[in-house]
Structure 1
């Protein structure tokens, strides 16, 4: 998802954890897991640079 956004909109594009879900209500458990990782564990803002999130995911953080 991040690589696609970066390619389409450039290095400064931001993403939210919602960007990883086609329909935000398809998998509420996975959505909550992503929200917990994003908000509680890493204290990220609602929108973060896609490059930052990609690096974190690639590193297994």
Structure 2
């Protein structure tokens, strides 16, 4: 995990952007997501889950559910 400034690895950022984009396209611009939306029910990548949780909870102090558009924009600004 890249600890510098709470940044996430590129692969995880791209996954989050893709999922947010898909959810916005399916349900509209007001759809909400939690960081769990980016992982399968059976967590097969606990390191990535913790990386996303750290970014979401510790770094940005976001609510449990946030607008997918907001998360997408935040991640894109970090690219």
- Normalising by structure 1, we get a TM-score of 0.92
Q: Which runs of 5+ in 1 are unaligned?
A: none
Q: Does 1:49 align with 2:67?
A: yes
Q: 1:31 and 2:49 equivalent? A: yes
Give, in angstroms, the shift of residue 22 of structure 1.
Answer: 2.2
Q: Runs of at least 4 residues of structure 1 off by over 2 A? A: none
RMSD: 1.3
Name which of structure 1's ranges 28-37 and 17-26 shifts more when overlaid on structure 2: 17-26
Of 24, 28, 31 in structure 2, the residue corresponding to residue 13 of structure 1 is 31
Query: Can you give the 5+ residue segments of structure 2 that lack an aligned partner in the other structure?
Result: 1-18
